[in-house]
Structure 1
């Protein structure tokens, strides 16, 4: 077996070098990126750009078209399926539900990657399974069949299985999709704690770039067949479309005004105006100061104290 070096002097590293990623057609060209033990990385990009394909390439479920992907000091292509399973715990967005399994059964399953399935888990293993279930807030569902769980709790149970696997790398494809805000934060705080305290390397995909600011160290952002990789803050600063409300443009005829405001207020105003107007508003300027909106329309000044007042004003300025 080709053992990967993971001691203190050789921390786990996932490295992509000059890789073309796709099936017959290239989705990501010339990708270069790397992650180290202790880092959390958010993989982001629009639907169809290759996020899941990139994950499957890292898992060597599909071959890359050019370049290399290395895990530790080994080319991923040199590792067997069993070795990859030992070093990488995976939570996919669409996982098959084992028939008649309970939450405890599924979370325990993570342990059997290390043993023949007929083995009985040790007391230490069983204790870790219980602690994982409690940390995810699933203790009341311990003996509940998976088929009776909500989508959110089912997702948390699959994440629990990955955690008990105790692999140095954890990869999650859209892990927070079915979770409400409270459970989303539980999962992300758990992942960050694993990275910091247990030196895990964690890569997870999502459509929500906002998660990166609070929970991730790195971003891998796929756009125009290119993988933009780096520190969260560096990538966000270089790609304003990630933080600009125009990312959510659903009205092709709408011409946006100039808006100076905190991000949340800016996004709310942008959404309000494009939902209710197809006009060219580029001649207007909005600035949020002292809890009021100050509007300039070709030299004429107005003030509004609410979004409702803004909507009324804009209709008179058409």
Structure 2
């Protein structure tokens, strides 16, 4: 696992998150959720070793973060906080180019391949028309996209974003989240982002870290949602037109979660499969064979290995 939390007590003078254990691998997109004040930002700062753990360990690629230098942590992790200092006279291109700073001396000239990469990221984030505009003249939404662009340009294996969609309208929110998921899957990045909107998980995340009552609940999105009633009382699920689903026999909420899981993880025809939810287990039938799965994680592993 690339990012591991082991029996960690997280907080300042008092423990906000107790005995936390969780792990993420490269390619994962994880949504960190929880009410205000439960310790989401404190957890992010602990991963960055900006706040020391009260006990336990956090490891990146097998190394304890407390033993890494600031430069080494920056090489592993790119981060975007919800409140960032805005360099007033920088343009969008200037800010996104700063992601290369950790690889060069302070005064540096971008190589041609770096400039090409920066230009590509500007296009991906639909910021081309603002490329040479000073940051002070941007809307909150486009400014946030520019900071996210800087994090992407850093080319770190982990990207952590604290409330990245707070100031974005629906269109730009979708652009950002699709870009982050594409990065995770195509470039094998680990993406961890916090949000108050847990419903985003059903569309864009593989895993959830849910902070509740000083505990960190972690796992596959659909498993965690079904374990907590307060997370399943609003629907934000849309079926992709290109997705060819299997036949599913299950209560509506379980059917919805399974559609969500399969659509995110499998871009292929699953119509030959039949899923039935029986006695808290999923029975998957194909031709004359059946497989029983007790969790959504088991379903992913089963389909990945045989289909």
Alpha-carbon distance in 2 for matches of 1:28, 1:200: 26
Name the counterpart of 2:129.
140
Does structure 1 residue 103 correspond to structure 2 residue 92?
Answer: yes
| 1:128 corresponds to | 117
* Distance in 2 of aligned mates of 1:262 and 1:144: 48
Match of 2:216 among 212, 219, 227: 227
- The root-mean-square deviation of aligned C-alpha atoms, in Å, is 1.3
Q: Runs in 1 of length 4+ with deviation above 2 angstroms?
A: none
Distance 1:79 1:178 in 2: 33
| Partners of 1:180 and 1:152 in 2: CA distance | 7
Distance, in Å, in 1 between the alignment partners of 2:53 and 2:117 is 36
Asked if residue 208 in structure 1 is aligned to residue 197 in structure 2, the reply is yes
Deviations 1:178-236 (CA, angstroms, capped at 9, x unpaired): 00111101000000000000000010000011110010000000000000000000000
The reply on whether 1:199 has 2:199 as its aligned counterpart is: no
Give the CA deviation at 1:125: 0.1
Aligned residues between the structures: 237
Greater Rg over alpha carbons, structure:
1
Provide the C-alpha distance between the structure 2 equivalents of 1:149 and 1:243, rounded to a whole number of angstroms: 36
CA shift for structure 1 position 242? 1.2
Alignment of 1:79-94 (within 5 A): 79-94=68-83
Q: Of residues 143, 164, 185 in structure 2, which corresponds to 1:154?
A: 143
Q: TM-score w.r.t. structure 1 length?
A: 0.73
CA distance in 2: counterparts of 1:14 and 1:73, whole angstroms: 8
Structure 2 residues without counterparts, runs of 5 or longer: 235-250, 254-307
2:232 to 217, 223, 243: 243
Structure 1: which 5+ residue stretches go unaligned? 1-11, 246-260, 264-318
Shift of 1:44: 0.1
Structure 1 residues 1-318: aligned runs within 5 Å: 13-244=2-233
Q: CA deviation at 1:262?
A: 7.7
